[in-house]
Amino acid sequence: MASDGSSNSSSIPDRQQIARQRLRIIAGHLQKPLDPSDGDISARECSGPDKQPGDTTTNSVPRRRQEVMKWNGWGYSDSRFHFNKKGQAEFTGKRYKLSGMIMPSLKEWFEGTFGANVQHKSFASAVPSPGSVKPPALNQAFVEGVQSAGVPFSSDAEDRVFRGHGHCLHEIFALREGRVGRVPDMVVWPNCHDDVVKIVELACKHNVCLIPYGGGTSVSSALECPLEETRSIVSLDTSQMNRILWIDEKNLTAHVEAGIVGQDLERLLGESGYCTGHEPDSMEFSSLGGWVATRASGMKKNIYGNIEDLLVHVRMVTPKGVMEKSCLVPRMSCGPDIHHFILGSEGTLGVVTEVTIKIRPVPEYQKYGSVVFPNFDMGVACLREVAKQRCAPASIRLVDNEQFQFGHALKPQVSSMFTSFLEGLKKFYITKFKGFDPQHLCVATLLFEGDREKVLQHEKQVYDIAAKFGGLAAGEDNGQRGYMLTFVIAYLRDLGMDHFVIGESFETSVPWDRVLDICRNVKERITRECKDKGVQFTPFSTCRVTQTYDAGACVYFYFAFNSRGLSDPVHVYEQVEHAARQEILANGGSLSHHHGAVATAAAPCQGVQPRRQRIRQQIFRSFLHASAAAPPTNGARVGCLFLLNNDLMNPNGARPDDQRVLISGRTPPRTYPLPSTPAELELYRPSSLLQVVIPRSTPSSLLTPAPPPENAPSPLTLGEVYQQQRLARKTDEV
C-alpha cells in the first residue's frame, strides 16, 4: 500500500540504507559508459504513426536532396535569378510568386550599384568534378553496426558533398569553383529517436565523429568538416524524422520529430487548423531540430515568440544517454534550465530528436502594411516607441534607404511605368510622398495577425504612432512584397556570383540607444574596409531592423561588392566582415542575434577554425585537470560553470567560449576568444566618437600573462560606462 510504503521509507535506518543503495547504483550508472562494451543497442520499433519507407508525402525535401536542390547554391534547382537575352532580370520556376516574372529595373540597379556589367559572367562548375571528392574513409565496425541496426546509409559522393557544407559565402564560393574540401565519409538517415540512440551508441563504441545535419541551411560553418579531424566523419541526417507524433489540443502543444522542415511542419499543422507561427527566413528548408540547436528567431516572434519561447520539451540523444525533462510543464524552478543548455549547442552536445512545441489556432485574419518615413532615424524612433508601448504587430521591419531602393528594383513588371528604375522611383515618391527625399526615405513593413476586429484596432494604433514620427502609410502591397521577397532574396546571392558580385548577411542584437550608431558605424566601416582592402567598386552596404524587444532590437546587415580584380575575393570579404563584427562589438552589439556562434568567431577565414579547435581542447583539458586534481572541497576547483564538451558531436559547433563570457576573476579581467591581437585591440576603439564602449575584456591582459602593476586602473565595465553616460546625461539635462 502506498501510504505504508512511504511511512517505511521515512524511518531513519531505511533512508540510510536506501541512500547507500542509490549511491552505488547512480555511481555505477555514471561509470558504465566508460566501458565501451556496455554500449549495447536496444532494438525498439519506431513509435508514432507508421511510415512507409521512401514515403515523401510529408517531405518537401527528399532524402536524395540532389533531386530538387542546388548543389552549389541556394534552394531549389528550378528556381534562380538570371538576366535573359534582352538583359532583363528574370526569376525561373513555378514555386514562388515571383517565379516566371520579369524585374525590369533590376539590371539598371545592379549595374549602377556594383559597377557590374551583366555581360560579364562567372560560370559555376556544373557538378563536382570526379577527382574533387576524396573516397570515403569508412569505419567498418561502425558501418556494420549501422547495417545490422537496419538504419539506411550511403557513402555516395553526391550524398556526402551535399552534407559537407552550409551556406556561408566561402563554402558556396568554393563549390562554384568545383573545390570540394573535406566532406563526411558517410551519411546515415535515422527514422526515429531510437535509431539515433543506436547510431550515437555505435559512434561512441567505434570512435566515429558525428555531425548532425538538419536542413543544411547553417550560416555558421557548423557543417564544415574539420580538415584536421582524423576519425571517420558521419553526417547524421535527420530529414527522415519528420512526423508529427501527436497534437494536444487541450494544452495547445504538438510533439514532433526534429527533422521536419518548417514548411512541412506548418502545412501539416495547418491541416488540423493550427500553426507554430515560427517563421525564420530559412523555414522552407531549415528543420525544427536545427531551430532548437541554433536558437532560431522567427519573423513573427512578437506573437509566437522565438524558439526558446515556443519550446515545451526537448529530447536530445547524447553519448551519455538521452537528456530530457521528466514532465511537460510550462515552468520549473528546480535548478538551471537544461533547455537553455540544449538551445544554442549547435550539435555539440547531442542530437535533438523530438520536440514538444506550442501551437496556436491558425489566425482568422492577416493584414500586411507599410509605412514610409522621411529618414531612418525617424523610423527607428517609431519602432522604439512601438516596442515601448508593447504593441508591435506579428512582424515589424524597418529597411534603410539602400534596401528600400533595392526592394524597388525588384518590382516585377506590372506596367510600362517602371522601364527606368530611377524614373519609377522618382514617380513613386513624387506622386505618393511629396517632400520625401528618395535618397533618405525608408520603409517599415508590417504584418498583423489575429481576429479581424482586433487587427484593425491594432493597425490603427500602430499607424497613429508612426504618424507621430512623420510616417505615412504606403499601402498593403508594399508590405506584402517586402515579406514575399524574404524567401527569394536568398537566391539573389547566386545571381551576384554569376557576375563577380559576392556578399552575405550577418546580424546582431543591440540596446535601443545604440541602434542608430551601430547601423551607421557598421555600414561606414564596411565601405572604408572595402576601400582599404583594394575593392575597386563601392560596396552595397545596407541594414534593416528586423526584431524589436523591450530593451533593444535585432539589426540585420547585408553587404556585397563587385570582386573583379581581386586575387582572393573570399579572403577580402571575410576580412571586411571580421572588421564589421569588431565594429558591432565596439558599439555594444552581440556577436549574433540568431545565426549562431561559429561564423562569427571563425572570421576572418577558415584557417581560424583549427586554431579554435586547439584552443578549445586546451581549455577543456585545463578545466578537467583543475577539477580532477583538486579535492572536492577545495576552493580552487569550484564555481566554474561549463559544458563538458563533446569532441564527438559536431566538432565545428558552438562552444561556450563563443559567447565571450567574461571569466574575469583577477584585475584586470581576462576573456576569450576575442580579441587576440594588438590589431583587434585597436578595433575595440570604435571609429565613431559616440557611445564609446570598452569591454571589460581588456585584450592587453590576454597578450600579457604577467599580472599588471598594482595601481593599474581597471577597465570600465559596460555597467560603469553606462552609468557615466547616465550621469552625464542627467547633468546635461540640469
DSSP one-letter string for 382-429:
HHHHHHHTT---SEEEEE-HHHHHHHHHTPPPSSGGGSSHHHHHHHHH
Minimum distance from residue 706 beta carbon to a copy of itself (Å)? 10
Task: Please identify, using beta-carbon distances, which residue of 16 and 420 lies nearer to a copy of itself.
Answer: 16
Q: Which of 165, 522, 696, 698 is close enough to bind a copy of itself by CB under 8 A?
A: 696
Cβ atoms of residues 111 and 117 within 8 Å: yes
- The answer to whether 607 contacts a copy of itself (rule: CB under 8 A) is yes
Among 68-76, 117-125, 510-518, 556-564, which window interacts with a copy of itself (CB under 8 A)?
510-518
- What nine digits make up the cell of 683? 578595433
Of 617-636, binders to a copy of itself (CB under 8 A) are 617-630, 632-636
Give which of 659, 237, 576, 299 is closest to 447, Cα–Cα.
Answer: 299
Query: How many residues interact with a copy of itself (rule CB under 8 A)?
Result: 214
Task: Please identify, using beta-carbon distances, which residue of 176 and 514 lies nearer to a copy of itself.
Answer: 514
Q: Which of 459, 528, 538, 688 is close enough to bind a copy of itself by CB under 8 A?
A: 528
- The answer to whether 690 contacts a copy of itself (rule: CB under 8 A) is no
Q: Which of 433, 483, 537, 642 is close enough to bind a copy of itself by CB under 8 A?
A: 642
| Dist CA 257 CA 429 (whole Å) | 49
Binding marks (x or -) toward a copy of itself, 342..361, rule CB under 8 A? xxxxx--xx---x-x-x---
CA terminus-to-terminus distance, the chain: 75
Among 280-288, 293-301, 420-428, 430-438, which window interacts with a copy of itself (CB under 8 A)?
293-301
- For 359-396, letters b (16+ CB in 10 Å) and e give bbeebeeebbbbbbbbbbbbbbbbbbebbeeebbbbbb
- The answer to whether 637 contacts a copy of itself (rule: CB under 8 A) is yes
Among 8-16, 102-110, 171-179, 434-442, which window interacts with a copy of itself (CB under 8 A)?
8-16
Among 58-66, 73-81, 122-130, 714-722, which window interacts with a copy of itself (CB under 8 A)?
714-722
How many other CB atoms sit within 10 Å of the CB of residue 313?
17
- The answer to whether 127 contacts a copy of itself (rule: CB under 8 A) is no
Cβ atoms of residues 654 and 597 within 8 Å: yes
- The answer to whether 722 contacts a copy of itself (rule: CB under 8 A) is yes
Of 33-72, binders to a copy of itself (CB under 8 A) are 33-36, 38, 40, 42, 44, 47-48
- What nine digits make up the cell of 495? 545571381
Minimum distance from residue 671 beta carbon to a copy of itself (Å)? 7
Binding marks (x or -) toward a copy of itself, 306..325, rule CB under 8 A? x-----xx-x--xxxxxxxx
Among 126-134, 339-347, 362-370, 408-416, which window interacts with a copy of itself (CB under 8 A)?
339-347
Q: Which of 143, 168, 186, 204 is close enough to bind a copy of itself by CB under 8 A?
A: 204
Of 530-589, binders to a copy of itself (CB under 8 A) are 532-533, 547, 549-554, 571, 574-575, 578-579, 582, 585, 588-589
The rounded Cα 499 to chain-centroid distance in angstroms is: 27
Residue recorded with cell 551576384: 496
The rounded Cα 630 to chain-centroid distance in angstroms is: 38
- The answer to whether 253 contacts a copy of itself (rule: CB under 8 A) is yes
| Dist CA 159 CA 234 (whole Å) | 11
| Dist CA 42 CA 44 (whole Å) | 6
- What nine digits make up the cell of 85? 537575352
Beta bridge partners of 234: 186, 210
Could you confirm whether 556 is annotated as catalytic? yes
- The answer to whether 335 contacts a copy of itself (rule: CB under 8 A) is yes
Q: Which of 46, 133, 473, 662 is close enough to bind a copy of itself by CB under 8 A?
A: 662
- The answer to whether 456 contacts a copy of itself (rule: CB under 8 A) is no
Residue 716 phi/psi, 5-degree rounding, is -75, 145
Residue 234 phi/psi, 5-degree rounding, is -115, 125
- The answer to whether 430 contacts a copy of itself (rule: CB under 8 A) is no
- The residue from 274, 429, 556, 684 that is catalytic is 556
Q: Counting every residue, how long is the chain?
A: 734
| Coil/strand/helix, residue 356 | strand
Q: How far is CA 34 from CA 29, 204, 209, 222, in A?
A: 10, 10, 17, 28
Q: Which of 179, 388, 426, 460 is close enough to bind a copy of itself by CB under 8 A?
A: 388
Q: Which of 647, 688, 692, 694 is close enough to bind a copy of itself by CB under 8 A?
A: 647
Minimum distance from residue 517 beta carbon to a copy of itself (Å)? 12
Cβ atoms of residues 462 and 446 within 8 Å: yes
Cβ atoms of residues 583 and 674 within 8 Å: no
Catalytic residue annotation: 556
